[in-house]
């Protein structure tokens, strides 16, 4: 992890990136936050110029965990306590600029999960008023995968900020351009709450992480997405596609920059 962070910091400096997003899996959590993110890793965080965000427990519907949207109070409280441990670790050691959270896997009707999720979000807001939290649209099989459910949550929770993963949004409408445009228009009314855009293409046959620069008849419309959602200068743009490969990251950044000029 220390080696990866060193490399990420070098790439961020060369490409003039302002934000690096860490990711915490359940495996890392079980191993020990202090072991993974303490010591030399923490020293690097504290000396680094870029800001840091953290993506906490990215959803995998195959793991069977319902997380903080679990309709049963006890499992939901366990998921919340785990999330709180992560938040308190970083708030004590090196506060993050943003904590990206996930609703978890879907097992019941959307309304059932949303009611439970709102209870959990209220608890977090009570414990940490003003904490920079944002919830993300997610993989198929999770609570917030479907556009209608994600929009319903944002409608019902006026102060909730959100993160948009473009590839997963594109996939959630079965790669239909008109439906994707509708989704973006629907999200536009919440643009003052958009915290991040996770850029990935989601072209069919290549998964949600197809590079932005790959031309595809069915690929993500980067220009349209930027035109409808990416204008706010406060929004952070992150690339999920190419890891720490400097040349590929530079290519993706150029694609995004060119789209801004074209639109």
Query: Mind listing the domains of the chain with CATH numbers?
Result: 1-139 (3.20.20.150), 160-263 (no CATH)
Q: Are strands 51-56 and 236-239 parallel, antiparallel or unpaired?
A: unpaired
Q: Which residue has the higher pLDDT, 104 or 131?
A: 131
Tokens 């400096």 correspond to what residue? 13
The pLDDT of residue 240 is: 79
Task: Kindly state the DSSP code that residue 105 receives in the 8-state scheme.
Answer: B
Grade residue 11 by pLDDT with cuts at 50, 70 and 90.
Answer: very high
pLDDT at 61 over 60: no
pLDDT score, position 84: 96
- Output the CA torsion 91→21→261→202 (10° steps): -130
pLDDT at 200: 85
Residue 156 pLDDT greater than 70, yes or no: yes
Average pLDDT over residues 118-126: 94
Say which DSSP state 122 is in.
Answer: H
Cα 116 to Cα 25, 127, 146, 163: the distances in Å are 22, 17, 17, 20
The predicted structure's pLDDT at residue 64? 60
What mean pLDDT is predicted for residues 73-94? 93
Kindly tell me the burial class for residue 81, based on how many C-beta atoms sit within 10 Å of its own C-beta (0-12, 13-18, 19 or more).
Answer: exposed
Query: Could you tell me where the beta strands, DSSP code E, fall in 103-212?
Result: 133-136, 161-165, 194-199
Going through the chain in order, the beta strands assigned E by DSSP cover 19-24, 51-56, 98-101, 133-136, 161-165, 194-199, 236-239
Taking only the tens place, the pLDDT of each residue in 186-217 is 999 999 999 999 998 777 666 666 778 776 66
Compute the Cα dihedral for 99, 105, 107, 111 and give only its sign. positive
Whole-number pLDDT of residue 50: 94
What pLDDT was estimated at residue 60? 63
pLDDT at 57 over 70: yes
- CA dist 35 and 31 (Å) reads 8
Instruction: Tell me the pTM.
Output: 0.92
User: Span 141-151, mean pLDDT?
Assistant: 93
pLDDT at 219 over 80: no
Residue 136: beta bridge partners?
163
Rg of the chain over Cα atoms, rounded to whole angstroms, equals 18
């Amino acid at each position: 992890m220390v080696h990866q962070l060193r490399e990420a910091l070098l790439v961020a400096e060369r490409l003039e990136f302002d934000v690096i997003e860490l990711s915490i899996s359940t495996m890392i959590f079980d191993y020990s936050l202090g072991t993974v993110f303490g010591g030399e890793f923490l020293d690097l965080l504290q000396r680094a110029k870029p800001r840091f965000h953290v993506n906490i427990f990215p959803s995998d519907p195959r793991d069977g965990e319902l997380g903080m949207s679990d309709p049963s109070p006890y499992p939901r409280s366990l998921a919340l306590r785990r999330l709180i441990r992560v938040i308190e670790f970083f708030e004590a050691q090196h506060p993050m600029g943003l904590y990206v959270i996930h609703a978890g896997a879907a097992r019941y009707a959307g309304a059932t999960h949303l009611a439970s999720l709102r209870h959990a979000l209220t608890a977090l807001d009570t414990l940490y008023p003003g904490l920079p939290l944002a919830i993300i649209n997610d993989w198929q099989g999770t609570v917030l995968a479907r556009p209608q459910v994600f929009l319903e949550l944002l409608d019902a929770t006026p102060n909730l900020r959100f993160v948009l993963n473009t590839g997963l949004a594109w996939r959630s409408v079965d790669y239909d351009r008109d439906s994707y445009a509708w989704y973006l228009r629907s999200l536009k009314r919440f643009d003052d709450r958009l915290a991040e855009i996770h850029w990935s293409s989601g072209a069919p046959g290549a998964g949600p992480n197809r590079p932005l620069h790959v031309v595809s008849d069915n690929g993500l419309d980067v220009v349209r997405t930027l035109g409808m959602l990416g204008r706010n200068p406060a929004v952070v743009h992150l690339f999920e596609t190419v890891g720490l490969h400097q040349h590929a990251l530079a290519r993706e950044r150029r694609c995004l920059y060119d789209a801004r000029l074209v639109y």
